[in-house]
Every structure is written in structure tokens, then in C-alpha cells.
Amino acid sequence: MDHLTIAGEHFTSRLIMGSSRYPNPQVMMEALEASETELVTVAIRRVDLSKNSEENMLRFLNKKNYKLLPNTAGCYTAKDAVLTAELAREALGTNWIKLEVIGDDETLFPDIPELLKATEILLNKGFVVLPYTNDDPITCKKLADMGCAAVMPLGAPIGSGMGIRNPYNLQIIRELVDIPLIVDAGVGTASDVAIAFELGVDGILLNTAVAQAEHPVEMARAINYAAKAGRLAYGAGRIPKKLYATASSPLEGIIGSKVD
């Protein structure tokens, strides 16, 4: 079976879906169902954790038994990220954390020194750490060697919809790490998803591409199909790229142009 395995847990879907910026909870739930995801991220600093709140999206997610992946979105220091992760563990009863330590408000690129610091602390505290990072092979290798459950390099800036901007780095990262490689951020549409999987990534985390689409449910369904197609294509093995043409029909036995 072609499962996504993270920290010993198996998922039949290779899509990890976000839960923010949807028009309303009903659209969110329909889109998640269309994507066939089993793992959904929740921004702990931006979600109302009050059990009695009408706006508490956790009420909706828990009804469908999605595995929740809390994240530290909105954190700019290792200290804030660690505190947020500990809050998530207490509130949601999970030691899984998608670790984000952002460098600035303009690019939303990760602050690598703070990310590495937070990773070390959380691993020592028993967390299953899935860090959002840039597409730097060296940083990803460091995170893997530290003991992270996966590495999650960006495909493009968060929410940009620019797709996979540096496929060559992703290919290098794929060769360097033997833990799950999950593209996190930048996906804009279904073709971006197919391309990423054809490069050999193990999974994709996305939010804006679906939540802010004109028709979120249809986009979620399209991305689901693209993920399956891209994964199948990667396993099938594409033909090598060539500069010149190669005839698709065999040349042996071809009728000659010379007339006797």
C-alpha cells in the first residue's frame, strides 16, 4: 500500500490540509472531504479553543475524526514557538507540532537560527516536530539529523500561489534526507501538486490554494486527483529528457524510398 508514514502513523492520503481562511465552516468541511485528507493543521494562536464557542472549528473537525496537526503560525521567536507548542499539547492532547518560526511579516520566510533552536528544545521535550523551513538542502539535512519526523520546505512564499519555484533544490533535498519530504507553502493549483509529487516528495501541505479558490470544494477535488496522478507518475518513472526527437514508431523494416 502506498501510504504516507510519519512518526510511525500511516495515512492513505498524502495531502495535509489547512483549516483557515475558508468562507465558512461548511465550505471548509466539504473541501476537506473532497480532498480526502486525514491530517488537518490548526493555527493554535489564531483559533478559539473555547469548547463552548460557536466559532470553534475544532467542533467541526472532531466530528469527522481528523488527526489534528497544531502549528505555531504567528511565532517569531523560538521562545514563543515552544510556548505555543506546549499550549497545543495541553489543549489538544497531541505531541505533534508543525513548527513555524517566521522571520518577518513581508516574506513570511522562516528564521532559520530560531527554527533550529526551537526544534532542539521541542525534540528534547518529546514532541514530534514537523518544521516549516526554506528549500535549503543543508538546513533540511540538519533538521533531519536532529530527529525531526519530516522536513517541510516551502515551494514558494506562503499564500503566493507561485507553485514550485526551485525544483532542483527539492530534488537535492530528496537525495539528502530519508525522512518524509513534504512541500509546505506556495501551491496555487492542481498542476503544482502534480509537479511536486513527480519530483519525489512524500506529501504536500496546503491551505490558501483551496480556501481562497473561487470554488474551494472543486479545487480540493482537483488537487486530490493531481496528488494521486503525480505520485503514480513518479512511481512509473518518466522517460529521460532529450534535446532531439526520437521516433515513437520503430524504424526497423520501414519501407525504403528507393524504387527498383
What is the domain extent for residue 220? 4-236
Grid-cell match 472543486, residue found: 218
- Per-residue pLDDT of 44-69, as tens digits, reads 876 665 555 545 677 778 778 899 99
More confident residue, 2 or 123: 123
**Structural domain contains residue 241:** no
Size (the chain), residues: 260
Q: Which helix (H) or strand (E) holds 209?
A: helix 208-211
pLDDT at 160 over 50: yes
Tell me if residue 64 is catalytic: no
Q: What is the CATH number of the domain that holds 23?
A: 3.20.20.70
Catalytic residue among 63, 79, 98, 228: 98
Strands (E), 77-137: 96-99, 128-133
- Going by C-alpha positions, the residue among 156, 157, 154, 151 that lies closest to residue 119 is 151
Tell me the percentage of the chain whose pLDDT exceeds 90.
Answer: 77
**Structural domain contains residue 255:** no
**Structural domain contains residue 161:** yes
- Going by C-alpha positions, the residue among 105, 108, 87, 107 that lies closest to residue 42 is 87
Give me the number of domains the chain comprises.
Answer: 1
What Å distances lie between residue 95 and 66, 68, 84, 128, 129, CA to CA?
A: 15, 10, 12, 6, 8
Half-sphere exposure at residue 138, Cβ-oriented, CA atoms within 13 angstroms = 2
- Going by C-alpha positions, the residue among 39, 71, 44 that lies closest to residue 56 is 44
More confident residue, 46 or 75: 75
The 3-class secondary structure across 179-192, one letter per residue, is: CCEEEECCCCCHHH
**Structural domain contains residue 209:** yes
pLDDT at 257 over 90: no
**Structural domain contains residue 229:** yes
Indicate the pTM of the whole model.
Answer: 0.90
**pLDDT at position 54, please?**
46
**Structural domain contains residue 257:** no
**Structural domain contains residue 213:** yes
Looking at every residue in the chain, the average pLDDT score rounds to 91
Q: Which helix (H) or strand (E) holds 206?
A: strand 203-206
The DSSP-derived string for 123-189 is: HHTT-EEEEEE-S-HHHHHHHHHHT-S-BEE-SSSTT-----S-HHHHHHHHHH--S-BEEES---S
**Structural domain contains residue 210:** yes
- Per-residue pLDDT of 83-92, as tens digits, reads 999 999 998 9
Is residue 24 very low, low, confident or very high in pLDDT (cuts 50, 70, 90)?
very high
